[in-house]
Amino acid sequence: MKIAVIGGVAAGTSAAAKARRTDPDAEIVIFEKGTEISYGGCGLPYYISGLIPDRDQLIAFTGEEFEDKYGVEVRLKHEVREIDSHEKMIYYKNLATGQDGAYQYDKLIIATGASPIKPPFEGFEKENIFVLRSVKDGDRIKAAANRDTTKKAVIIGAGLIGLEMAEAFTEMGLKTTVIELQPQVLPPFSQEMAKLVEKELQEKDVDLVLNDGVAAFKGGDKLEKVVTESGKEIEADLALLSIGVKANSELAKKAGIEIGETGAIKINEKMETNLKDIYAAGDCAESKDLITGKAAWIPLGSTANKQGRTAGENAAGGSYSHSGIIKTGITKIFDLTAARTGLSKEEAEKNGFEVTEVKIKARNHAGYYPGADIINIKGVFANNDGRLLGAEVIGGDGSDKRIDVLVTAIQAEMTAADLFQLDLAYAPPYSSAKDAVAILGMVAE
Ligand code: FAD
């Protein structure tokens, strides 16, 4: 059995490791066009800010370590250029030597991930304009941000990565401006809840330019200003473009693999594509929205790991499924946690639900215990049966625990009444006798 894996970060290495555990005798080869595998891209903002001092802390395994631990061959700087599904061949270029090569597989796992979107903005070629995806991107941004001459940073895009980087740059002493095309930060959140994050950013001296996009990057060789569509000119020694990613699905598409409307590879619960013996996993692949049953593409490390594991087991002869996602995400923005899951009111209505939104504000733990903080929760409940369909949580410590309880409740198809009945743990340092989740249920009932 010969298993080839294209891509060696979250999905690719999870797949290879699980394939090895499932079939101790298989020949497993990872083809990775970059120089690193198995790194925690999610930790990059904290590496750049210096909170995580050493880049090696982000790298779970080097290629050699992975080979030693799992008996998997790792071919770095190997870019796969073509898949021939009839002959079961992949064709690659060794980027180190320039040599072309081919590998015959029995099973193929595509884990090519996603890449930052880079529209052809005027002046995008200037020095000190970056995107953030790989550890190398992180090294470059960290070096540029730490230069004595770098005082001002502009971030384009107020999504999770943009705002994590706003915190990182501010912690590094840079005056930071975030530009966002939408009228609010964190567009998947409701505007009302996003306002809480905007307040936090303003209090931490981050400037926000909402409802505006980038028109051009200006300067000589080096960036000097970012000019917006409305004509604002914002001085910048460094700019980070973080307006989203697109699935790396072209290689699969060229091979005749079906691509979904999201632009990512269509797969079933076994991570099988439409072509026999070819699987896909991670940011290059779709998932299923467990509430609507429709295809969904939310490129996150949490999903990439599970999909990779599923693809690896199945490619090696096992039988495993990843049923889908409910689009849960969480981020830390200075002293706030912002998390969401499930359907927003608008999404729920688009999918035929009549819903009611309920918003509550509660303490994270007993008010008399030191350090009590506020947690804001918004729940989206179906009118006909009270079922919880979605939630947003923004607040201090303990917001992460509440979102995970609500995720569990949504996946278990619980109602407002069920939330009140949950026997959640209580002691003053952790919660209140009536937990925030129970209060949400009580108000919604
Ligand atoms: P990728 O990480 O994109 O890896 C794909 C690999 O395939 C790449 O190394 C690429 O070089 C290689 N490749 C592509 N094409 C070829 C080819 N033709 N031949 C050979 N190799 C190829 N997710 C969360 O869940 N929580 C977070 O908090 C979070 N924070 C993040 C913060 C940042 C700054 C970033 C950048 C991402 C964050 N993510 C987070 C997202 C998470 O990192 C990704 O979802 C995850 O890395 C996806 O893993 P993957 O293996 O599918 O794809």
Model pLDDT for residues 199-256, shown as the tens digit of each residue: 999 999 999 999 999 999 999 999 999 999 999 999 999 999 999 999 999 999 999 9
Residue 367 pLDDT:
93
* Alpha-carbon distances of 80 from 31, 258, 259, rounded to whole Å: 7, 18, 18
- 283 in ligand 1 pocket by Cβ < 6 Å? yes
Q: What is the pLDDT of residues 3-42, one digit of tens each?
A: 999 999 999 999 999 999 999 999 999 999 999 999 999 9
Q: Ligand 1: does its nearest atom lie under 6 Å from the Cβ of 282?
A: yes
CA 435 – ligand 1 centroid, Å: 36
Confidence (pLDDT) at 195: 98
Q: What is the mean pLDDT of residues 300-317?
A: 98
Give 418 Cα–ligand 1 centroid separation in angstroms.
37
> Is 302 close to ligand 1, i.e. is its CB under 6 Å away?
yes
Q: Which of 6, 132, 283, 303 to mutate to test the pocket of ligand 1 (most atoms within 8 A of CB)?
A: 283
For residues 182-189, give the mean pLDDT: 96
Tell me, in angstroms, the distance from the centre of ligand 1 to residue 113's CA: 5
pLDDT at position 384, please?
Answer: 97
Mean pLDDT of 148-177: 98
pLDDT score, position 373: 95
> Which of 244, 404, 387, 412 has the alpha carbon at shortest distance from 339?
404
Q: Residue 124 and residue 323: Cα distance in Å, rounded?
A: 40
Compute, in angstroms, the gap from residue 222 CA to the centroid of ligand 1: 29
306 CA to centre of ligand 1 in angstroms: 14
Ligand 1 nearest atom to the CA of residue 281, by list position: 52
Q: How confident is the model at residue 80 (pLDDT cuts 50, 70, 90)?
A: very high
Query: Which pLDDT value is given to residue 116?
Result: 97
DSSP 191-212: HHHHHHHHHHHHHTT-EEE-S-
Ligand 1 atom with the shortest distance to the CA of 307: 52
Sign of CA dihedral 255, 259, 265, 269: negative
Ramachandran category for residue 7: left, alpha or beta (phi over 0 → left; psi -120 to 50 → alpha): left
Question: For the residues 259-283, what does the mean pLDDT come to?
Answer: 98
Residues 220 and 217: their CA atoms lie apart, in Å, by 10
- Provide the annotated active-site residues: 42
157: left (phi over 0), alpha (psi -120 to 50) or beta: left
The residue contributing the CA closest to ligand 1 atom 28 is 42
Residues 6+ apart with CB under 8 A from 267: 273, 279, 280, 281, 285, 286, 307
- At 353, is the pLDDT very low, low, confident or very high (cuts 50, 70, 90)? very high
Q: Which residue reads 């995720």 in tokens?
A: 407
Q: What is the CB neighbour count within 10 angstroms for residue 261?
A: 10
Q: CA-CA distances (angstroms) from residue 245 to 119, 159, 160?
A: 11, 11, 12
Q: Does ligand 1 lie within 6 Å of residue 49's CB atom?
A: no
Closest among 378, 365, 375, 364 to 444, alpha carbons compared = 378
Q: Give, for ligand 1, the residue of 300, 330, 403 to mutate: max count of ligand atoms closer than 8 Å to Cβ.
A: 300
- Nearest residue (CA) to ligand 1, atom 27: 42
pTM passes above 0.95:
yes
What pLDDT, on the 0 to 100 scale, is given for residue 19? Answer: 98
Handedness of CA 432, 435, 436, 440 (dihedral sign): negative
Query: How much distance in Å is there from the Cα of 322 to the middle of ligand 1?
Result: 19
Nearest residue by C-alpha to atom 32 in ligand 1? 42
pLDDT tens-digit readout, 374-428: 999 999 999 999 999 999 999 999 999 999 999 999 999 999 999 999 999 999 9
- Mean per-residue pLDDT over the chain, rounded: 97
- 249's CB contacts (< 8 A; 6+ apart) are 112, 257, 259, 263, 264, 265, 284
Beta carbons of 63 and 31 less than 8 angstroms apart:
no
